């Protein structure tokens, strides 16, 4: 009886030792990837930013899309911050640094007197295809005015091939082209608001 318990405990210990360690990857916004950092004349306009995403992009584990219908969520590789939170924080920074808005906030609900920017993060993942691997980000963007009238809708789609399935390569690629997409959102939002005045 005692020998059976010892064997079970040793088996559990050996199997616990064989679990691979979790690796955490940082997403740094590569400032050189920003196409243009135009400073705008400050106005009294304010904007509230809301980011939506499927549940699998609100958690930190890295996602690989193996087909249009299937994704795999890594158990051993994750982002330092979930993609949804990362996009939200970088959007706030980009809009705040533009100098155009009196106030920039992150909000789950429409705020009185604010423009309302909704970014729906559709994809933030490694894509596995016959031709190799790519990093892909897709965001649907909608801007509404103070009275909830639609000002514009757009889709930002960035995809770039990477050498292999190394998540460091994925982080480097996303860190390079995400800023371009977020600057595009900022510049389009500001142009559309200016067009209303």
Q: Tell me, yes or no, whether 1 lies in a domain.
A: no
Q: Tell me, yes or no, whether 118 lies in a domain.
A: yes
pLDDT tens digits, one per residue of 15-66: 555 567 888 998 877 564 444 556 678 888 899 999 999 999 999 999 999 9
What does the block give as tokens for 131? 């031709």
Length of the chain: 197
Burial class of 83 by CB neighbour count within 10 A (0 to 12, 13 to 18, 19+): buried
The rounded distance, in Å, linking the Cα atoms of 3 and 112 is 71
Q: Label the pairing between strands 103-106 and 115-129.
A: unpaired
Question: Pick from 86, 96, 94: which is nearest to 36 by CA?
Answer: 94
CATH of the domain at 100: 3.40.50.10610
- Range in 3-7, 57-61, 99-103, 182-186 the model is least confident about: 3-7
What does the block give as tokens for 81? 């911050």
Give me the domain span that covers residue 35: 23-196
Q: Tell me, yes or no, whether 126 lies in a domain.
A: yes
Are 184 and 152 in contact by the 8 Å Cβ rule? The answer is no
What pLDDT does 20 receive?
72
Q: Tell me, yes or no, whether 15 lies in a domain.
A: no
Q: Tell me, yes or no, whether 12 lies in a domain.
A: no
Instruction: Provide the whole-model pTM.
Output: 0.83
Return the DSSP state at 67.
Answer: E
Q: Tell me, yes or no, whether 67 lies in a domain.
A: yes
Q: Tell me, yes or no, whether 33 lies in a domain.
A: yes
Q: Based on the structure, what is the number of domains in the chain?
A: 1
Q: Tell me, yes or no, whether 128 lies in a domain.
A: yes
């Amino acid at each position: 009886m005692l020998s059976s318990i010892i064997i079970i405990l040793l088996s559990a210990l050996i199997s616990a030792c064989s679990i691979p360690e979790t690796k955490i990857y940082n997403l740094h916004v590569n400032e050189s990837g920003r196409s243009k950092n135009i400073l705008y004349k400050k106005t009294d306009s304010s904007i509230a930013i809301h980011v939506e995403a499927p549940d699998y992009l609100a958690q930190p584990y890295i996602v690989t899309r193996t087909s249009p219908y299937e994704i795999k969520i890594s158990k051993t590789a994750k982002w330092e911050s979930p993609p949804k939170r990362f996009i939200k924080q970088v959007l706030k920074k980009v809009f705040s640094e533009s100098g155009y808005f009196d106030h920039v906030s992150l909000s789950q609900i429409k705020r009185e007197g604010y423009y309302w920017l909704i970014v729906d993060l559709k994809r933030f993942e490694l894509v596995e295809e016959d031709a190799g691997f790519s990093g892909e980000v897709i965001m649907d963007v909608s801007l509404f005015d103070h009275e909830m009238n639609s000002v514009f809708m757009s889709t930002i789609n960035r995809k770039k091939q990477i050498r292999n399935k190394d998540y460091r390569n994925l982080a480097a690629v996303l860190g390079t082209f995400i800023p371009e997409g977020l600057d595009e959102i900022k510049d389009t939002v500001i142009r559309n608001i200016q067009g209303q005045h």
